[in-house]
Chains A and B, each alone.
Chain A
């Protein structure tokens, strides 16, 4: 009798834990760090009316993002790089303060982190 009750208790525990599993669905967006979120927002902000390319920027011969618009991505990029434990002086030494290098470095960190999150989700399921 005791055994049956125990078994039933474990079965219920098992069921409960399975139900909880559903509520704790992890998605890439829910597992992102605040620094990653800000980095995303910075890229999205390029579409806001005041951040769209100006007439002059459109007439340029290159598709390289203009310095004005790169500057919109730099604060979030720096934040993301520093969040990995890199110091401010190391950041300056490695990039020389070059906006493209800062953004590219942050993008590489971002993609690595997204990949890790995706792999974690896969491993959990």
Chain B
């Protein structure tokens, strides 16, 4: 009984804190395709749950795919992205602790919006590598780990400048809305 109450309590708290989160990737580079993981994790103490794109692990946002032509990547949550996004990710790698990771299909109940995993994670980072547009040729010095700065769970930085282009991560937040932007110029 006590357990049940605890679960209900946690679920209720999660729902109250349910935020309107979005991840938006704008690739303004006309020379390079973006290949990168997209991760979200818990920012409320500890790093878990820690959720990362799994199929494909590296999501590809082609050169010049951005809001200007309606080809930007938008992920509202782990589930709806599969239906609504131009760059669907069919499954997620879900880490519940350093030792436990499970692959969950996009429509698995445990990662649905409003669930505990979804309610306790926020978009955090991307490990990326830029490729010459339409090729499998990477530009080794145009790569990195971009994301929320000062995040001990990832170690990402929010600005990367290279001779080939720049990448930045920023947020625009209000009370219950948090939009994370990854922009490549």
Co-complex (A, B): yes
Per-residue B-contact encoding for A96-125, CB less than 8 Å = 1, 0 else: 001011011001001100110110000000
* In the complex, chain B residues whose CB is within 8 Å of the CB of A43: 26, 66-67, 181, 183
Distance in angstroms between the alpha carbons of A73 and B84 in the assembled complex: 25
The A58-114 residues at the B interface (CB cut-off 8 A) are 58, 61-65, 69-70, 98, 100-101, 103-104, 107, 110-111, 114
Q: Are B179 and A32 in contact (CB under 8 A)?
A: no
Interface size class of B (residues with CB under 8 A): 20 to 34
- Closest chain-B Cβ to A8's Cβ sits at a distance in Å of 41
Q: Is B177 an interface residue (CB 8 A)?
A: yes
Q: Is B159 an interface residue (CB 8 A)?
A: yes
* In the complex, chain B residues whose CB is within 8 Å of the CB of A37: 68
Q: Is A2 an interface residue (CB 8 A)?
A: no
Contact A47 to B148, CB < 8 A, known contacts A41-B68, A63-B158, A100-B172: no
Q: Are A27 and B70 in contact (CB under 8 A)?
A: yes
Distance in angstroms between the alpha carbons of A46 and B169 in the assembled complex: 12
* In the complex, chain A residues whose CB is within 8 Å of the CB of B63: none
* In the complex, chain A residues whose CB is within 8 Å of the CB of B84: 115
Pick from A39, A62, A65, A111: contact of B74, CB under 8 Å:
A111
Per-residue A-contact encoding for B24-47, CB less than 8 Å = 1, 0 else: 001010000000000000000000
- Closest chain-A Cβ to B38's Cβ sits at a distance in Å of 15
Q: Is B82 an interface residue (CB 8 A)?
A: no
Q: Is A44 an interface residue (CB 8 A)?
A: yes
The B36-92 residues at the A interface (CB cut-off 8 A) are 66-71, 74, 84
* In the complex, chain B residues whose CB is within 8 Å of the CB of A69: 170
Q: Is B174 an interface residue (CB 8 A)?
A: yes
Distance in angstroms between the alpha carbons of A118 and B72 in the assembled complex: 13
Q: Are B170 and A65 in contact (CB under 8 A)?
A: yes
Distance in angstroms between the alpha carbons of A29 and B26 in the assembled complex: 15
Nearest first, the 10 A-B pairs at minimum CB distance are A28-B70, A47-B185, A65-B170, A40-B67, A40-B68, A29-B69, A100-B174, A63-B158, A104-B177, A101-B174
What are 27 of the A-B contact pairs (CB < 8 Å)?
A: A28-B70, A28-B71, A37-B68, A40-B67, A40-B68, A44-B66, A44-B67, A46-B168, A47-B183, A47-B185, A61-B149, A62-B149, A62-B171, A63-B147, A63-B169, A63-B171, A63-B180, A64-B171, A64-B172, A65-B172, A100-B174, A104-B172, A104-B174, A107-B172, A107-B179, A111-B74, A115-B84
Chain A contact residues, CB within 8 Å of chain B: 27-29, 32, 37, 39-41, 43-44, 46-47, 52-53, 58, 61-65, 69-70, 98, 100-101, 103-104, 107, 110-111, 114-115, 117-118
Given contacts A62-B149, A65-B170, A100-B174, 7 further A-B contacts (CB under 8 A): A28-B71, A47-B183, A64-B172, A65-B171, A70-B172, A98-B174, A100-B173
